[in-house]
Structure 1
Amino acid sequence: MIKCIAIDDEPLALKQITSYINKTPYLDLTASFESPIEALTYLQENTVDLVFVDINMPDLNGLDFVKSLKYPPKIIFTTAYSEYALEGFKVDALDYLLKPIDYATFLKAANKAREWFDLKRNTTEEIKSNNDYLFIKSEYKIVRIKLEDVTYIEGMREYVRIHLINEKPIMTLLSMKAMEAQLASKSFMRVHRSYIVNLNKITTIERNRIVFDKVYIPISEQYKEGFNQFIENNFLS
């Protein structure tokens, strides 16, 4: 079951969204609120997986509500104003429902949430590898990746995106910490909180950035010393 709450300052809209939640078998409504302030108080003492929240509310709008959460659950926004859609996705919302909302539309968003949680529950922080290959879970499959084909790895919150030569990137539900630990001894180096690079694929460094084709990867202060040592050890003079 996916534990969720609903927040909407309009009583009729809140009644509708809670009725949709209650008729969806895999959703468990633990509370509902007309006030986002009350919802904040509730979340200080209770943990939920998913929040359905209206954007346009007095006192504290839905976007600011989500931004105020230190460890936000997954979010599905509801609103009567389509211009808020882009802002909603900027805070990593799972979906955006435009009022009036019918049950079919609601169910599509709920299914997206279920797929996300199923993937998270079925994926562990486990990577199988040797000196030549990396085995990871991606889209319910185990994928073998040749390390020599990896150019860089990009962290994207719960996911990482593995960029490959002449192939589409591969997404997997893993942390950068797990990737770094597995690849540190295999010619890979973390150069930024969001990037791990294949040192063997570096051809150009420009203004403290590694250049892969048209992609510029910054080298942060935290990792600069280690990277500069690598360059010094391999520099021909």
Structure 2
Amino acid sequence: MPAPPHDQHLFVKVNKKMVRVNFEELLFIEAMSDYSVLVLDKQKLIVYSTLKSLEERLPESFSARVHRSYIVNTRRIDVVEDHMLAFSKHEVPVSKSYQEGFYRRLRGI
């Protein structure tokens, strides 16, 4: 299988390895102090990187900040209900400070 174009993936350091994360597999990213957890279809990757640093590496068309601690892949949202986003087996809150911008963007998608 050929590698996806550069704008469809990013490399992150996990332990001592560089791991490619394909955007279509990424559900959301959760902040944990100086670390971030990348939640993918079949695994979670813990990387030593802030959420802000990862956000700067993501294409704008791909992601949306919905909470101080979460960035989501807008293409992978299954359900939006009562300021919660559902991704297969996971739920992510949408905080009040990000609601207006997120819902405006969601209507434009």
Find runs of 4+ consecutive structure 1 residues off by over 3 angstroms.
none
Per-residue displacement from partner, 1:61-80 (whole Å, max 9, x unpaired)? xxxxxxxxxxxxxxxxxxxx
Tell me which protein shows more helix as a share of its residues.
1
Q: Is 1:203 equivalent to 2:78 in the alignment?
A: yes
Match of 1:148 in 2: 24
Match of 2:13 in 1: 137
**Deviating more after overlay: 130-139 vs 178-187:** 178-187
Query: Cα distance 1:186–1:141, how it changes in 2: closer, same or farther (>3 A)?
Result: farther
Q: Is 1:161 equivalent to 2:51 in the alignment?
A: no
Largest Rg, 1 or 2 = 1
User: 1:218 Cα deviation (Å)?
Assistant: 0.7
Per-residue displacement from partner, 1:12-46 (whole Å, max 9, x unpaired)? xxxxxxxxxxxxxxxxxxxxxxxxxxxxxxxxxxx
The letter of the residue matching 1:219 is: V
Aligned counterpart for 1:218 among listed residues 47, 68, 93: 93
Match of 1:194 in 2: 69
Query: Cα distance 1:186–1:231, how it changes in 2: closer, same or farther (>3 A)?
Result: closer
Are the equivalent residues in 2 in contact too, given 1:131–1:186 (CA < 8 A)?
no
User: 1:217 Cα deviation (Å)?
Assistant: 0.8
Structure 1 vs Structure 2 CA RMSD? 1.5
Per-residue displacement from partner, 1:180-234 (whole Å, max 9, x unpaired)? 1121524111100111000000120111110112322110112111111112224
Tell me which protein shows more strand as a share of its residues.
2
Instruction: Report how many residues are paired.
Output: 105
1:230 match: secondary structure: helix
Counterparts of 2:25 and 2:8 in 1: how far apart (Å)? 10
Counterparts of 2:53 and 2:61 in 1: how far apart (Å)? 14
The letter of the residue matching 2:78 is: T
Counterparts of 2:106 and 2:10 in 1: how far apart (Å)? 26
User: 1:145 Cα deviation (Å)?
Assistant: 1.0
2:7 match: secondary structure: coil
Q: Give 1:1-237 correspondences, 5 Å limit.
A: 130-165=6-41, 167-234=42-109
Counterparts of 2:103 and 2:54 in 1: how far apart (Å)? 21
Unpaired stretches in structure 2, ≥5 consecutive residues: none
Amino-acid identity (%): 32
Counterparts of 1:186 and 1:175 in 2: how far apart (Å)? 20
The letter of the residue matching 1:155 is: A
Counterparts of 1:220 and 1:176 in 2: how far apart (Å)? 16
Counterparts of 2:22 and 2:69 in 1: how far apart (Å)? 21
Are the equivalent residues in 2 in contact too, given 1:187–1:200 (CA < 8 A)?
yes
Counterparts of 2:36 and 2:69 in 1: how far apart (Å)? 9
